[in-house]
Structure 1
Protein backbone atom coordinates (compact mmCIF):
# COMPACT_ATOMS: atom_id res chain seq x y z
CA UNK A 1 0.00 0.00 0.00
CA UNK A 2 1.46 3.35 -1.01
CA UNK A 3 1.87 6.01 1.67
CA UNK A 4 2.03 9.78 1.52
CA UNK A 5 5.53 11.01 2.24
CA UNK A 6 6.18 13.60 4.97
CA UNK A 7 7.05 16.08 2.24
CA UNK A 8 3.65 15.59 0.62
CA UNK A 9 1.87 16.08 3.96
CA UNK A 10 3.72 19.34 4.60
CA UNK A 11 2.89 20.48 1.08
CA UNK A 12 -0.79 19.79 1.69
CA UNK A 13 -0.70 21.74 4.96
CA UNK A 14 0.84 24.69 3.15
CA UNK A 15 -2.04 24.89 0.67
CA UNK A 16 -4.31 27.88 1.26
CA UNK A 17 -7.67 27.12 2.87
CA UNK A 18 -10.68 27.10 0.60
CA UNK A 19 -12.37 30.52 0.57
CA UNK A 20 -15.52 30.88 2.63
CA UNK A 21 -18.68 30.81 0.54
CA UNK A 22 -21.75 32.93 1.15
CA UNK A 23 -25.08 31.24 1.77
CA UNK A 24 -27.31 31.88 -1.27
CA UNK A 25 -30.40 31.27 0.87
CA UNK A 26 -29.94 34.77 2.33
CA UNK A 27 -30.63 36.36 -1.05
CA UNK A 28 -33.21 33.77 -2.11
CA UNK A 29 -35.28 34.27 1.04
CA UNK A 30 -34.89 38.03 0.85
CA UNK A 31 -36.12 38.19 -2.74
CA UNK A 32 -38.99 35.81 -2.11
CA UNK A 33 -40.11 37.56 1.06
CA UNK A 34 -39.89 41.13 -0.20
CA UNK A 35 -41.63 40.48 -3.51
CA UNK A 36 -44.35 38.42 -1.85
CA UNK A 37 -44.90 41.25 0.65
CA UNK A 38 -45.15 43.83 -2.13
CA UNK A 39 -47.73 41.78 -4.03
CA UNK A 40 -49.87 41.48 -0.91
CA UNK A 41 -49.73 45.23 -0.35
CA UNK A 42 -51.15 45.49 -3.87
CA UNK A 43 -53.78 42.79 -3.24
CA UNK A 44 -54.89 44.62 -0.09
CA UNK A 45 -55.28 47.84 -2.07
CA UNK A 46 -52.38 49.63 -0.41
CA UNK A 47 -50.04 49.86 -3.43
CA UNK A 48 -50.15 49.88 -7.21
CA UNK A 49 -48.99 47.14 -9.56
CA UNK A 50 -45.80 48.88 -10.77
CA UNK A 51 -43.48 47.90 -7.90
CA UNK A 52 -44.81 44.33 -8.06
CA UNK A 53 -43.78 44.02 -11.70
CA UNK A 54 -40.33 45.50 -11.21
CA UNK A 55 -39.59 43.44 -8.10
CA UNK A 56 -40.97 40.37 -9.86
CA UNK A 57 -38.53 40.90 -12.70
CA UNK A 58 -35.45 41.86 -10.69
CA UNK A 59 -35.46 40.75 -7.04
CA UNK A 60 -38.08 38.05 -6.73
CA UNK A 61 -37.32 36.86 -10.25
CA UNK A 62 -33.72 37.28 -11.40
CA UNK A 63 -31.97 37.53 -8.02
CA UNK A 64 -33.92 34.62 -6.53
CA UNK A 65 -33.25 32.47 -9.59
CA UNK A 66 -29.52 33.21 -9.37
CA UNK A 67 -29.63 32.26 -5.67
CA UNK A 68 -31.24 28.97 -6.65
CA UNK A 69 -28.51 28.25 -9.16
CA UNK A 70 -25.94 28.94 -6.44
CA UNK A 71 -27.75 26.44 -4.20
CA UNK A 72 -27.04 23.87 -6.92
CA UNK A 73 -23.33 24.43 -6.35
CA UNK A 74 -23.88 23.93 -2.61
CA UNK A 75 -25.53 20.56 -3.26
CA UNK A 76 -28.85 21.71 -1.79
CA UNK A 77 -31.59 20.24 -4.00
CA UNK A 78 -34.41 21.76 -1.92
CA UNK A 79 -32.99 25.27 -2.15
CA UNK A 80 -32.10 24.72 -5.81
CA UNK A 81 -35.65 23.69 -6.71
CA UNK A 82 -37.38 26.26 -4.50
CA UNK A 83 -35.42 29.42 -5.31
CA UNK A 84 -34.97 28.70 -9.00
CA UNK A 85 -38.62 27.76 -9.46
CA UNK A 86 -40.12 30.64 -7.50
CA UNK A 87 -37.73 32.99 -9.27
CA UNK A 88 -39.26 31.74 -12.51
CA UNK A 89 -42.73 32.14 -10.95
CA UNK A 90 -42.14 35.84 -10.40
CA UNK A 91 -40.71 36.32 -13.89
CA UNK A 92 -43.72 34.54 -15.37
CA UNK A 93 -46.21 36.50 -13.25
CA UNK A 94 -44.58 39.79 -14.22
CA UNK A 95 -44.77 38.65 -17.86
CA UNK A 96 -48.48 37.88 -17.49
CA UNK A 97 -49.16 41.32 -16.00
CA UNK A 98 -47.18 43.06 -18.73
CA UNK A 99 -48.80 40.92 -21.42
CA UNK A 100 -52.28 41.82 -20.16
CA UNK A 101 -51.37 45.51 -20.10
CA UNK A 102 -50.22 45.53 -23.72
CA UNK A 103 -52.49 42.76 -25.04
CA UNK A 104 -49.61 40.39 -25.78
CA UNK A 105 -50.64 36.77 -25.13
CA UNK A 106 -53.29 38.05 -22.66
CA UNK A 107 -54.44 35.81 -19.82
CA UNK A 108 -57.99 35.72 -18.48
CA UNK A 109 -58.86 35.45 -14.78
CA UNK A 110 -59.43 31.73 -15.30
CA UNK A 111 -56.11 31.38 -17.11
CA UNK A 112 -54.32 32.95 -14.16
CA UNK A 113 -56.37 30.73 -11.86
CA UNK A 114 -55.06 27.55 -13.50
CA UNK A 115 -51.55 29.02 -13.43
CA UNK A 116 -51.93 29.43 -9.66
CA UNK A 117 -53.48 25.97 -9.20
CA UNK A 118 -50.43 24.34 -10.78
CA UNK A 119 -48.14 26.37 -8.54
CA UNK A 120 -50.24 25.24 -5.58
CA UNK A 121 -49.59 21.60 -6.45
CA UNK A 122 -45.88 22.29 -6.93
CA UNK A 123 -45.77 24.08 -3.57
CA UNK A 124 -47.45 21.11 -1.88
CA UNK A 125 -44.58 18.90 -3.03
CA UNK A 126 -42.04 21.33 -1.58
CA UNK A 127 -44.16 21.63 1.58
CA UNK A 128 -43.45 17.96 2.28
CA UNK A 129 -39.75 18.66 1.81
CA UNK A 130 -39.98 21.71 4.07
CA UNK A 131 -41.05 19.43 6.92
CA UNK A 132 -37.56 17.93 6.72
CA UNK A 133 -35.80 21.30 6.87
CA UNK A 134 -37.00 23.19 9.96
CA UNK A 135 -40.14 24.30 11.78
CA UNK A 136 -39.76 27.80 10.37
CA UNK A 137 -39.51 26.48 6.82
CA UNK A 138 -42.51 24.21 7.38
CA UNK A 139 -44.54 27.17 8.70
CA UNK A 140 -43.48 29.31 5.74
CA UNK A 141 -44.57 26.71 3.21
CA UNK A 142 -47.79 26.01 5.11
CA UNK A 143 -48.67 29.71 4.81
CA UNK A 144 -47.59 29.69 1.16
CA UNK A 145 -49.82 26.74 0.25
CA UNK A 146 -52.75 28.23 2.18
CA UNK A 147 -52.23 31.54 0.39
CA UNK A 148 -52.13 29.84 -3.01
CA UNK A 149 -55.35 27.96 -2.24
CA UNK A 150 -57.07 31.23 -1.33
CA UNK A 151 -55.81 32.86 -4.53
CA UNK A 152 -57.08 29.83 -6.48
CA UNK A 153 -60.53 30.38 -4.99
CA UNK A 154 -60.31 34.12 -5.74
CA UNK A 155 -59.76 33.38 -9.44
CA UNK A 156 -62.59 30.84 -9.65
CA UNK A 157 -65.53 32.83 -8.37
CA UNK A 158 -64.64 33.91 -4.83
CA UNK A 159 -62.82 37.26 -5.26
CA UNK A 160 -63.16 38.09 -1.54
CA UNK A 161 -60.58 35.36 -0.88
CA UNK A 162 -57.92 37.70 -2.29
CA UNK A 163 -58.10 39.79 0.90
CA UNK A 164 -57.60 36.74 3.14
CA UNK A 165 -54.78 35.53 0.89
CA UNK A 166 -53.08 38.89 1.31
CA UNK A 167 -52.82 38.51 5.08
CA UNK A 168 -51.83 34.83 4.97
CA UNK A 169 -49.08 35.54 2.45
CA UNK A 170 -47.88 38.48 4.55
CA UNK A 171 -47.20 35.88 7.26
CA UNK A 172 -45.41 33.73 4.68
CA UNK A 173 -43.23 36.66 3.63
CA UNK A 174 -42.47 37.50 7.26
CA UNK A 175 -41.34 33.93 7.92
CA UNK A 176 -39.09 34.08 4.84
CA UNK A 177 -37.48 37.24 6.23
CA UNK A 178 -37.10 35.61 9.65
CA UNK A 179 -35.16 32.75 8.05
CA UNK A 180 -33.11 35.24 6.04
CA UNK A 181 -32.20 37.00 9.29
CA UNK A 182 -31.40 33.60 10.84
CA UNK A 183 -28.86 32.94 8.07
CA UNK A 184 -27.25 36.40 8.12
CA UNK A 185 -27.13 36.97 11.88
CA UNK A 186 -26.05 33.41 12.61
CA UNK A 187 -23.03 33.93 10.36
CA UNK A 188 -22.15 37.34 11.79
CA UNK A 189 -22.52 36.39 15.47
CA UNK A 190 -21.20 32.86 15.12
CA UNK A 191 -24.21 31.39 16.92
CA UNK A 192 -27.89 30.69 16.39
CA UNK A 193 -29.36 34.12 17.15
CA UNK A 194 -32.79 33.40 15.66
CA UNK A 195 -33.61 29.68 16.03
CA UNK A 196 -35.69 28.08 13.27
CA UNK A 197 -36.52 24.84 15.10
CA UNK A 198 -35.76 21.22 14.32
CA UNK A 199 -37.39 19.48 11.33
CA UNK A 200 -40.97 18.39 11.86
CA UNK A 201 -40.27 14.97 10.30
Structure 2
Protein backbone atom coordinates (compact mmCIF):
# COMPACT_ATOMS: atom_id res chain seq x y z
CA UNK A 1 0.00 0.00 0.00
CA UNK A 2 3.03 2.19 -0.25
CA UNK A 3 2.61 5.17 -2.53
CA UNK A 4 5.00 7.61 -0.94
CA UNK A 5 7.88 5.15 -1.27
CA UNK A 6 7.37 5.01 -5.03
CA UNK A 7 7.70 8.77 -5.28
CA UNK A 8 10.84 8.73 -3.13
CA UNK A 9 12.40 6.14 -5.46
CA UNK A 10 12.09 8.67 -8.25
CA UNK A 11 13.28 11.53 -6.01
CA UNK A 12 16.33 10.56 -3.92
CA UNK A 13 15.97 13.56 -1.65
CA UNK A 14 13.51 14.04 1.15
CA UNK A 15 11.54 17.28 1.62
CA UNK A 16 13.89 20.19 2.23
CA UNK A 17 16.63 18.71 0.04
CA UNK A 18 18.00 16.28 2.64
CA UNK A 19 19.02 12.81 1.52
CA UNK A 20 16.21 10.27 1.96
CA UNK A 21 17.43 7.80 4.63
CA UNK A 22 14.80 5.21 3.64
CA UNK A 23 15.75 5.01 -0.03
CA UNK A 24 17.61 1.71 0.44
CA UNK A 25 14.69 0.06 2.25
CA UNK A 26 12.54 -2.21 0.09
CA UNK A 27 8.85 -1.37 -0.32
CA UNK A 28 6.92 -3.46 2.25
CA UNK A 29 3.63 -2.89 0.42
CA UNK A 30 3.64 -5.98 -1.83
CA UNK A 31 4.27 -8.26 1.17
CA UNK A 32 1.43 -6.76 3.16
CA UNK A 33 -0.97 -6.94 0.22
CA UNK A 34 -0.03 -10.55 -0.57
CA UNK A 35 -0.49 -11.60 3.08
CA UNK A 36 -3.86 -9.89 3.20
CA UNK A 37 -4.94 -11.36 -0.15
CA UNK A 38 -4.14 -15.01 0.57
CA UNK A 39 -5.74 -15.06 4.02
CA UNK A 40 -8.83 -13.23 2.74
CA UNK A 41 -9.11 -15.62 -0.21
CA UNK A 42 -9.06 -18.75 1.94
CA UNK A 43 -11.57 -17.42 4.48
CA UNK A 44 -13.84 -16.17 1.69
CA UNK A 45 -14.00 -19.64 0.19
CA UNK A 46 -15.78 -20.74 3.37
CA UNK A 47 -17.92 -17.60 3.65
CA UNK A 48 -19.07 -18.11 0.07
CA UNK A 49 -19.93 -21.75 0.73
CA UNK A 50 -17.36 -23.01 -1.77
CA UNK A 51 -15.38 -25.01 0.81
CA UNK A 52 -16.67 -27.39 3.53
CA UNK A 53 -17.33 -25.59 6.82
CA UNK A 54 -15.61 -28.39 8.73
CA UNK A 55 -12.28 -27.34 7.18
CA UNK A 56 -12.55 -23.68 8.22
CA UNK A 57 -9.92 -24.02 11.01
CA UNK A 58 -7.32 -24.20 8.21
CA UNK A 59 -7.65 -20.40 8.06
CA UNK A 60 -6.24 -19.95 11.58
CA UNK A 61 -2.53 -20.60 10.82
CA UNK A 62 -2.73 -18.16 7.92
CA UNK A 63 -4.48 -15.61 10.11
CA UNK A 64 -1.73 -15.91 12.73
CA UNK A 65 1.43 -16.04 10.64
CA UNK A 66 0.74 -14.54 7.20
CA UNK A 67 -2.32 -12.33 7.36
CA UNK A 68 -1.42 -11.42 10.94
CA UNK A 69 2.32 -11.45 11.65
CA UNK A 70 3.66 -10.78 8.14
CA UNK A 71 1.19 -7.95 7.57
CA UNK A 72 2.03 -6.46 10.96
CA UNK A 73 5.73 -6.50 10.07
CA UNK A 74 4.96 -4.84 6.72
CA UNK A 75 3.04 -2.13 8.54
CA UNK A 76 5.92 -1.43 10.93
CA UNK A 77 8.26 -0.99 7.97
CA UNK A 78 5.74 1.38 6.41
CA UNK A 79 6.21 3.55 9.51
CA UNK A 80 9.95 3.55 8.74
CA UNK A 81 9.16 4.54 5.15
CA UNK A 82 7.06 7.44 6.50
CA UNK A 83 3.94 6.09 4.78
CA UNK A 84 1.09 6.90 7.15
CA UNK A 85 -1.57 5.24 5.02
CA UNK A 86 0.31 1.98 4.53
CA UNK A 87 1.35 1.79 8.18
CA UNK A 88 -2.18 2.38 9.43
CA UNK A 89 -3.67 -0.14 7.00
CA UNK A 90 -1.20 -3.00 7.42
CA UNK A 91 -0.85 -2.78 11.20
CA UNK A 92 -4.64 -2.58 11.54
CA UNK A 93 -5.48 -5.46 9.21
CA UNK A 94 -2.61 -7.54 10.56
CA UNK A 95 -4.12 -7.00 14.00
CA UNK A 96 -7.53 -7.88 12.58
CA UNK A 97 -6.31 -11.31 11.53
CA UNK A 98 -4.62 -11.92 14.88
CA UNK A 99 -7.80 -10.85 16.66
CA UNK A 100 -9.90 -13.02 14.35
CA UNK A 101 -7.80 -16.09 15.17
CA UNK A 102 -8.08 -15.37 18.89
CA UNK A 103 -11.82 -14.78 18.60
CA UNK A 104 -12.48 -18.04 16.78
CA UNK A 105 -10.19 -20.12 19.00
CA UNK A 106 -10.85 -18.66 22.45
CA UNK A 107 -13.83 -16.30 22.54
CA UNK A 108 -16.51 -17.72 20.25
CA UNK A 109 -16.61 -21.13 22.03
CA UNK A 110 -17.45 -19.35 25.31
CA UNK A 111 -20.41 -17.48 23.79
CA UNK A 112 -23.83 -19.19 23.72
CA UNK A 113 -24.31 -20.74 20.30
CA UNK A 114 -27.51 -18.77 19.70
CA UNK A 115 -25.48 -15.54 20.00
CA UNK A 116 -22.58 -16.50 17.75
CA UNK A 117 -23.87 -14.63 14.70
CA UNK A 118 -24.65 -11.47 16.66
CA UNK A 119 -21.23 -11.47 18.31
CA UNK A 120 -19.50 -11.96 14.95
CA UNK A 121 -21.61 -9.21 13.39
CA UNK A 122 -20.58 -6.77 16.13
CA UNK A 123 -16.95 -7.78 15.60
CA UNK A 124 -17.21 -7.09 11.86
CA UNK A 125 -19.25 -3.88 11.85
CA UNK A 126 -16.43 -1.94 13.51
CA UNK A 127 -14.06 -3.09 10.78
CA UNK A 128 -16.55 -1.92 8.17
CA UNK A 129 -16.44 1.56 9.73
CA UNK A 130 -12.62 1.58 9.76
CA UNK A 131 -12.45 0.35 6.16
CA UNK A 132 -14.97 3.00 5.11
CA UNK A 133 -12.76 5.88 6.16
CA UNK A 134 -9.64 4.14 4.85
CA UNK A 135 -11.47 3.91 1.51
CA UNK A 136 -11.86 7.69 1.54
CA UNK A 137 -8.15 8.10 2.33
CA UNK A 138 -7.23 5.66 -0.46
CA UNK A 139 -8.72 7.99 -3.07
CA UNK A 140 -5.36 9.81 -3.16
CA UNK A 141 -3.26 6.64 -3.62
CA UNK A 142 -3.78 4.41 -6.67
CA UNK A 143 -6.75 3.00 -8.53
CA UNK A 144 -5.61 -0.50 -7.58
CA UNK A 145 -5.83 0.31 -3.88
CA UNK A 146 -9.15 2.10 -4.25
CA UNK A 147 -10.55 -1.12 -5.76
CA UNK A 148 -9.18 -3.16 -2.84
CA UNK A 149 -10.68 -0.90 -0.20
CA UNK A 150 -14.03 -0.48 -1.95
CA UNK A 151 -14.45 -4.24 -2.25
CA UNK A 152 -13.21 -4.82 1.30
CA UNK A 153 -15.70 -2.28 2.68
CA UNK A 154 -18.52 -4.12 0.91
CA UNK A 155 -17.21 -7.44 2.20
CA UNK A 156 -17.19 -6.35 5.84
CA UNK A 157 -20.57 -4.65 5.50
CA UNK A 158 -22.27 -7.64 3.86
CA UNK A 159 -20.79 -10.13 6.32
CA UNK A 160 -21.76 -7.96 9.29
CA UNK A 161 -25.31 -7.39 8.06
CA UNK A 162 -25.68 -11.08 7.23
CA UNK A 163 -24.61 -12.08 10.75
CA UNK A 164 -26.65 -9.43 12.55
CA UNK A 165 -29.85 -10.16 10.60
CA UNK A 166 -29.38 -13.91 10.43
CA UNK A 167 -29.81 -13.87 6.64
CA UNK A 168 -27.26 -16.40 5.40
CA UNK A 169 -27.64 -15.29 1.78
CA UNK A 170 -26.24 -11.84 2.55
CA UNK A 171 -23.18 -13.34 4.23
CA UNK A 172 -22.71 -15.67 1.27
CA UNK A 173 -22.67 -12.70 -1.10
CA UNK A 174 -20.13 -11.14 1.23
CA UNK A 175 -17.99 -14.24 0.79
CA UNK A 176 -18.00 -13.83 -2.99
CA UNK A 177 -17.15 -10.14 -2.70
CA UNK A 178 -14.34 -11.20 -0.37
CA UNK A 179 -12.94 -13.37 -3.15
CA UNK A 180 -12.96 -10.36 -5.46
CA UNK A 181 -11.22 -8.35 -2.73
CA UNK A 182 -8.47 -10.96 -2.51
CA UNK A 183 -7.99 -10.96 -6.28
CA UNK A 184 -7.75 -7.15 -6.32
CA UNK A 185 -5.19 -7.20 -3.49
CA UNK A 186 -3.17 -9.91 -5.25
CA UNK A 187 -3.14 -7.80 -8.40
CA UNK A 188 -1.97 -4.72 -6.50
CA UNK A 189 0.82 -6.75 -4.88
CA UNK A 190 1.75 -8.38 -8.20
CA UNK A 191 1.86 -5.02 -9.96
CA UNK A 192 4.06 -3.29 -7.39
CA UNK A 193 6.54 -6.15 -6.96
CA UNK A 194 6.75 -6.78 -10.72
CA UNK A 195 7.24 -3.10 -11.54
CA UNK A 196 9.96 -2.88 -8.88
CA UNK A 197 11.71 -6.01 -10.15
CA UNK A 198 11.62 -4.91 -13.77
CA UNK A 199 12.55 -1.32 -12.94
CA UNK A 200 9.69 0.09 -15.01
CA UNK A 201 5.91 0.01 -15.16
CA UNK A 202 4.87 -3.38 -16.49
CA UNK A 203 1.44 -3.51 -14.84
CA UNK A 204 -0.66 -0.37 -14.26
CA UNK A 205 -1.80 0.68 -10.80
CA UNK A 206 -3.49 3.93 -11.89
CA UNK A 207 -1.73 6.43 -9.57
CA UNK A 208 -4.03 9.23 -8.44
CA UNK A 209 -2.88 12.81 -8.03
Distance apart, 1:160 and its partner CA: 1.1
1:137 aligns to what? 145
Q: Does structure 2 conserve the Cα–Cα contact (< 8 Å) formed by 1:153 and 1:159?
A: no
Deviation beyond 2 Å, 4+ runs, structure 1: 17-20, 100-108
* TM-score computed with the length of structure 2 as normaliser: 0.82
Give the one of 46, 51, 69 matched to 2:76.
Answer: 69
Structure 2: how far apart are the matches of 1:197 and 1:75?
Answer: 21
Do the aligned partners of residues 30 and 18 (structure 1) sit closer, same or farther apart at CA in structure 2, a change above 3 Å counting? closer
Displacement after TM superposition at 1:115 (Å): 1.2
Q: For structure 1, which segment, 186-195 or 82-91, has the greater mean C-alpha deviation from structure 2 after superposition?
A: 186-195
> 72-81 vs 49-58, which deviates more?
49-58
TM-score by length of 1: 0.85
Query: Aligned Cα RMSD in Å?
Result: 2.1
Between the two proteins, the alignment pairs up a number of residues equal to 184
Given candidates 127, 138, 153, the residue that maps to 2:135 is: 127
Work out the CA distance in 1 between the residues paired with 2:22 and 2:183.
34
Q: CA deviation at 1:166?
A: 1.2
Gaps of 5+ in 1: 1-16
- Alpha-carbon shift at residue 50 of structure 1 (Å): 2.0
- Compare CA radii of gyration and give the structure with the larger one: 1
Unaligned runs of 5+ in 2: 1-20
What residue is the counterpart of 1:118 in the other structure? 126
Q: Please state if 1:24 is matched with 2:31.
A: no
